[in-house]
């Protein structure tokens, strides 16, 4: 299946690790020109070395919490590769809190960490896309916006807001050739998820392997997702094969939460 991604200019935020890195690799394998964006230069350079894509790859160290940094990032990409065809937002993760410890600032921090990292990147690319009459945005959000967890309320609220934004922007700009979709991964075998297992292991005295097996047993597919599986969905939604898919919110949690 030809995804028609060859030569496309793609920006992937949060691309130094995990799902973002897997997305960058997928686009490069399809012949796209990819800019990977992250906050930490050392991590970006390590990711670039791993991807080993030569002139088809560039790195931009920028914090998407900062609206001006997002604008500057987009300008750097255009200067190197030309107009941006596809934006994949995979940056940002909100901290988890016990409900009894939540303070007003925690809610604000969660919106900065997850919501505004996405909004700022979108704002930095959407106007040229509209003027050109084409563009694709895929937001990697998370099931926390659909399923309220008592230890993930600020982050879940940010995720829910991003789902509304994704559907709303698809409706607002579809007539200008812009498609916007979102992917909601559940537990995925990234360093972030494995790190949470490590913390739980230290708190409970149970082994990481025991905790992971218990968590995976609750998933109908009996395993965590892999970053590459989420990336496959992102690439499809960004591709010409999904040319009539917009405003979609795709759950990827192995059917753990049977929602419609």
**Count of structural domains, the chain:** 1
Q: What is the pLDDT of residue 196?
A: 77
Per-residue model confidence as pLDDT tens digits over 126-184: 999 999 999 999 999 999 999 988 888 999 999 999 999 999 999 999 999 999 999 99
Cβ count near 29 (within 10 Å): 13
Query: Does 203 map to a domain?
Result: no
Distances 260 to 25, 147, 249, 251, 255 between C-alpha atoms, Å: 31, 12, 10, 9, 11
Higher pLDDT, 96 or 175: 175
Query: Does 210 map to a domain?
Result: no
- Local structure of 183: helix, strand or coil: strand
Query: Does 18 map to a domain?
Result: yes
- In which element (H, E) is residue 106 found? helix 104-110
Backbone dihedral region for residue 115 (phi beyond 0: left; psi -120 to 50: alpha; all else: beta): alpha
Q: What is the pLDDT of residue 67?
A: 98
Average pLDDT rounded to a whole number, residues 3-11: 98
Query: Does 30 map to a domain?
Result: yes
pTM of the model: 0.94
Domain of 93, CATH number, reads 3.40.50.720
Q: Is 5 exposed, middle or buried (0-12, 13-18, 19+ CB in 10 A)?
A: buried
- What six digits make up the tokens of 120? 């700022």
Query: Does 163 map to a domain?
Result: yes
Per-residue model confidence as pLDDT tens digits over 28-48: 999 999 999 999 999 999 999
101, 153 contact by CB (below 8 A): no
Phi, psi torsion values for 239, nearest 5 degrees? -95, 170
**Domain residue limits at 238:** 9-188+225-252
Asked whether the predicted pLDDT for residue 197 surpasses 90, the reply is no
Query: Does 140 map to a domain?
Result: yes
- In which element (H, E) is residue 38 found? strand 33-38
Query: Does 241 map to a domain?
Result: yes
- What six digits make up the tokens of 128? 């040229």
Query: Does 202 map to a domain?
Result: no
Q: What is the pLDDT of residue 231?
A: 98
- Local structure of 116: helix, strand or coil: helix
How many Å is the Cα radius of gyration of the chain? 18
Q: What is the pLDDT of residue 78?
A: 98
What integer best gives the mean pLDDT of the chain? 95
pLDDT band of 195, cuts 50, 70, 90 = confident
- In which element (H, E) is residue 13 found? strand 9-13
User: What is the secondary structure of 51-74 as a DSSP string?
Assistant: H--GGGEEEEE--TTSHHHHHHHH
Per-residue model confidence as pLDDT tens digits over 199-257: 788 878 999 999 999 999 999 999 999 999 999 999 999 999 999 999 999 999 999 99
């Amino acid at each position: 299946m030809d995804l028609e991604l060859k030569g496309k200019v793609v920006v992937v935020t949060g691309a130094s690790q995990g799902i973002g890195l897997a997305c960058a690799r997928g686009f490069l394998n399809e012949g796209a020109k990819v800019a990977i964006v992250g906050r930490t230069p050392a991590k970006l350079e390590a990711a670039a070395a791993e991807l080993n894509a030569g002139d088809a790859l560039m790195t931009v160290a920028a914090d998407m919490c900062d609206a001006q940094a997002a604008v500057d990032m987009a300008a750097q990409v255009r200067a190197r590769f030309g107009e941006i065809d596809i934006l994949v937002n995979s940056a940002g993760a909100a901290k988890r809190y016990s409900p009894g410890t939540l303070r007003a600032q925690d809610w604000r921090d969660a919106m900065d960490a997850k919501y505004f990292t996405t909004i700022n990147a979108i704002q930095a690319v959407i106007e040229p896309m509209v003027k050109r009459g084409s563009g694709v945005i895929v937001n990697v959000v998370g099931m926390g916006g659909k399923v309220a967890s008592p230890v993930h309320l600020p982050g879940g609220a940010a995720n829910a807001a991003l789902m509304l934004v994704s559907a709303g922007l698809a409706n607002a700009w579809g007539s200008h050739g812009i498609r916007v979709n979102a992917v909601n991964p559940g537990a995925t075998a990234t360093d972030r998820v494995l790190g949470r297992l490590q913390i739980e292991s230290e708190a409970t005295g149970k082994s990481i392997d025991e905790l992971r097996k218990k968590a995976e047993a609750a998933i109908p597919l009996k395993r965590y997702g892999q970053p590459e599986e989420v990336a496959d969905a992102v690439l499809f939604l960004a591709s010409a094969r999904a040319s009539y898919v917009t405003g979609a919110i795709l759950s990827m949690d192995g059917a753990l939460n049977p929602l419609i």
